[in-house]
Structure 1
């Protein structure tokens, strides 16, 4: 799930990422702000739910993926869409 909260006083948006993955030890987000080299670690909650809040610029578009346990790439089914990537698959698309 992706929850967007637009800030009234700044040109930014707080984005809360939530994904439920059973038997996952760690989940990271890659690709936000076009940064595929620096993973953003998500916090593990009860029941296999992972959460993370990021502040991103308004009027931007981001491609990203979740990396589960360092090996399994996943898209977010609740995102704004998907964009083709160079590996023949797709990335999650976030539009702010």
Structure 2
């Protein structure tokens, strides 16, 4: 589940591309503190990958998770993980 980062020269933001390989899934979403944990759908492509792009301010750490067909999943290639007492589980961490 790779994430790519493209830092913008014109403003202090980073274009984040979330890519989730999930051929058998019907719906993949991403939720995190960058969108107040309101899930955002990723677009499904013919190759079975789901993708979405967000521009996020730099010099921040963001916690997030994927929701794959209703099941919360972490990013295996996250920059780190942070324990969340509310969910009693770890969240993926994205550093930009």
- Residues 68 and 74 of structure 1 are in contact (CA less than 8 Å); yes or no, is this contact kept in structure 2? yes
Which blocks of at least 5 consecutive residues in structure 2 are unaligned? none
1:1-96 equivalences in 2 (<5 Å): 1-33=2-34, 35-36=36-37, 38-69=38-69, 71-86=70-85, 87-96=87-96
CA 1:32–1:44: 2 relative to 1, 3 Å: farther
Aligned length: 94
Distance 2:81 2:21 in 1: 19
Cα 1:34–1:45 shift into 2, 3 Å? closer
CA RMSD of aligned residues (A): 1.2
After the TM superposition, which segments of 4 or more aligned residues of structure 1 sit over 6 Å from their partners? none
Q: CA deviation at 1:34?
A: 5.6
In 2, distance between residues paired with 1:3 and 1:32?
18
TM-score scaled by length of structure 1: 0.91
SS at match of 1:82: strand
Gaps of 5+ in 1: none
Does the 8 A contact of 1:34 with 1:63 survive in 2? no
The separation in 1 between residues aligned to 2:83 and 2:24, in whole angstroms, is 28
